[in-house]
Amino acid sequence: MKASEKIKGIVFAYNTSGEYEMVKELGVEWMRLNICFPWADKMFGTLSEEYIQARQEILDTHAKGFQVMPATPPLGGFSYDEKEGKTCWHEHFPEFVGKKGTDEFYENVRESMRFICEDLGEAAGIYWQCMNEIDIPVFSNDYPDDILADTARASAEGIRRANPQARCGINISCYNENAVRIADLVYREGHPFYYMGVDQYFGSWQPGDADDWIGVIDGLYERYGLPVLANEWGYSSDGELETEAPDPALIPEGLNEVCYTKKWFNQAEGGHTPQVQADYFKRGHRIFAQHPHCLGSFMFCWRDAYHCYHCGASDCPAECYWGIVDTECRPKPAYYAVKEALKEYYK
């Protein structure tokens, strides 16, 4: 695959408000957007307001000239609940879909995804992300591995009922023993997937730096024999370093140690600064453009968050500083570094 044919994408989050022209000026061609379960009351019943809004954003984004990779709903997720004032688990599939692990449930997942694919029509690009980071508790809770894997497979099977040419994949949260153990279940014989997807946040959530992506792509390609897509990657532009891990027993359920301490446990050389973030993005893009087994990438993310979705805090490095523009949509150095990299490396 020529570099010019690869995915030049970004996760269009957080707090977006139609900055399509700014994104287009970067040279970005793809956006990853979430789509949720469609119905509020029963299968093929009343469309939920959440689904209608998510669908409209995908339609609007496509109308502005972007390709969209939809990300289908995971089983659920831990996120901050304003009413409860704490981080809670939220299910993403209603009870009427069926008991998880049953034939009824998997068939309803297939039919839900078939409906979504048909409903989005041409607004959905050929690439799809099935669920999100099913190898970590924040999106899997304590569900058994086989239910996670088979729900991901059913999601892809449903999409391909509507569009047999769809190129589906999952995104493991990182490249480690636990992640590939789950991926091995998903990609066992008879799977419906086109690519192997992975998220990596070297220097933030994991030790290392952007250059470590080379080993990840090599390892996953060798293991699965499929092209590799970097579904999420980036570097937080703020946050101090903590060297001593907290006692896990003190951390509330569903929360992570970064939210608990409000500090990172990893950093690239130079720390978490806007300039280090800019350099990180440029080096990463060179790797993705040049690596023969990489399909491209989706940067995480477009805009800084007002609040961390994990813990609700406005100053939490876990989610607040990933954007290449700040909360007021003012470009960081990374914005200009990405613009230069996309022009230079993807010829």
pLDDT for 136 equals 96
Q: Name the nearest CA neighbour of 107 among 150, 163, 142.
A: 150
pLDDT for 186 equals 98
Q: What is the mean pLDDT of residues 68-74?
A: 98
Q: Name residue, tokens 């086109």.
A: 194
pLDDT for 74 equals 97
Percent of the chain scoring above 90 in pLDDT: 97
Q: Could you tell me the pLDDT band of residue 341, with boundaries at 50, 70 and 90?
A: very high
- Model pLDDT for residues 15-26, shown as the tens digit of each residue: 999 999 999 999
Q: What is the mean pLDDT of residues 98-116?
A: 98
Q: Name the nearest CA neighbour of 5 among 338, 226, 299, 294.
A: 294
Percent of the chain scoring above 70 in pLDDT: 100
pLDDT for 260 equals 95
Q: Could you tell me the pLDDT band of residue 338, with boundaries at 50, 70 and 90?
A: very high
Q: What are the structural domain ranges in the chain?
A: 3-346
- Model pLDDT for residues 291-331, shown as the tens digit of each residue: 999 999 999 999 999 999 999 999 999 999 999 999 999 99
Q: 132 near 171, Cβ under 8 Å? A: yes
pLDDT for 326 equals 97
Q: Could you tell me the pLDDT band of residue 164, with boundaries at 50, 70 and 90?
A: very high
Q: How far is 83 from 155, CA to CA, in rounded Å?
A: 31
Q: Indicate the class that CATH gives domain 3-346.
A: alpha beta
Q: What is the mean pLDDT of residues 62-66?
A: 98
Compute the mean pLDDT over every residue in the chain, rounded to the nearest whole number.
Answer: 97
pLDDT for 156 equals 98
pLDDT for 36 equals 98
Which ranges of the chain would DSSP assign to H, the alpha helix? 20-26, 49-63, 103-120, 137-140, 145-162, 177-186, 213-224, 257-261, 274-290, 333-345
Dihedral sign for Cα atoms in the order 242, 317, 297, 176: positive
pLDDT for 129 equals 98
Q: Could you tell me the pLDDT band of residue 56, with boundaries at 50, 70 and 90?
A: very high
- With b meaning 16 or more CB within 10 Å and e meaning fewer, what string describes 6-36? bbbbbbbbbebeeebebbeebebbbbbbbbb
Higher local confidence (pLDDT), 28 or 253: 28
Q: 61 near 81, Cβ under 8 Å? A: no
pLDDT for 117 equals 98
- Model pLDDT for residues 174-213, shown as the tens digit of each residue: 999 999 999 999 999 999 999 999 999 999 999 999 999 9
pLDDT for 90 equals 96
